[in-house]
Amino acid sequence: MQIFGVDIGGSGIKGAPVDLDRGDLAQERFKVLTPQPATPDGVADGVKQVVEHYGWTGPVGLTFPGVVTDGSTIRTAANVDRSWIDTDARALFSDRLGGLPVTVVNDADAAGVAEMHFGAGRDRRGTVILLTLGTGIGSALFIDGALVPNTELGHLELHGHDAEKRASSKAREDEELSWEHWARRVQKYLAHVEMLFSPELFIIGGGVSRKSHKFLHLIEGIKAEIVPAQLQNNAGIVGAAMRAAEKDG
């Protein structure tokens, strides 16, 4: 079975048809840059470009980098334009896609659902936290496999700062930090999250998970197991498609 998944990020909008039996992309993904400013109309046009690239005419699952309530209403917009707040995202995207059925989910929650089903969290019980280190920091919290949605742990305060402003992949790039220096920041952030939730497992996702060999071994003093996401930066696309399939089914 194939469903289309789109992952909306602060820097890029990427998507592809997803083979839900394998938990992998059915075709190579297509990406466009997120418009700046990332307004609802601009992002919707980008999503339309990605979906029309494949001539897709079925259900579409979409991630959004912020809190999504009742499967549609946007409540926060830290890394996109603030005009997103209170937008009915499902109606916006469905209208732009010519009436296709649309499902909208928090981006890190989508990535977490995919990793728990097909990737690094498969068959893991207890408390598992996926953290996507990208433009910001997304989080997905699972208790015995069940998702606690919209946790947004990247916005915890850490040493007087929004944590994602210090420990995201974007912060490393913007400040030209060495892997060692950045790993110490990530370590402090993980220690803070561990103090609050005592997880058995941290899964580190986002694009930087492809380079986990450069920094994970530098992180010390964390009791939980720390592993890279197996689906890497495709997890959001796969998870969005999974959510859309649930709604369509």
CA dihedral 143, 146, 149, 152 (to 10 degrees): 40
Q: Is 248 helix (H, G, I), strand (E, B) or coil?
A: helix
What pLDDT is stored for residue 248 in this prediction? 65
Pair (147, 192) in one structural domain: yes
**Kind and range of the H or E run holding 135:** none
Contact 97, 237 (CB under 8 A): no
What pLDDT is stored for residue 159 in this prediction? 86
CATH classification at residue 54 = 3.30.420.40
Other CB atoms within 10 A of residue 150 CB: 18
Pair (83, 180) in one structural domain: no
What pLDDT is stored for residue 249 in this prediction? 54
Residue 132 lies in a domain: yes
Residue 236 lies in a domain: no
Question: Which token pair is 68?
Answer: 């999504």
Residue 39 half-sphere exposure, CB side, CA atoms within 13 Å?
A: 3
Pair (134, 50) in one structural domain: no
Domain region containing 92: 2-106
Our count of domains for the chain comes to 2
Q: How far apart are the first and last CA of the chain?
A: 11
Residue 117 lies in a domain: no
Residue 151 lies in a domain: yes
Pair (146, 99) in one structural domain: no
Pair (214, 134) in one structural domain: yes
Pair (99, 190) in one structural domain: no
Pair (99, 65) in one structural domain: yes
Pair (93, 127) in one structural domain: no
What pLDDT is stored for residue 235 in this prediction? 94
What pLDDT is stored for residue 207 in this prediction? 86
Residue 114 lies in a domain: no
Per the listing, tokens 């952030």 go with 189
Residue 97 lies in a domain: yes
Residue 248 lies in a domain: no
Residue 40 lies in a domain: yes
Pair (55, 133) in one structural domain: no
Pair (180, 223) in one structural domain: yes
- Averaged over successive runs of 10 residues, the pLDDT of the chain (249 residues) comes to 95 96 97 97 98 98 96 93 98 98 97 98 97 94 97 93 95 97 98 98 94 97 97 94 86
- Does pTM surpass 0.75? yes
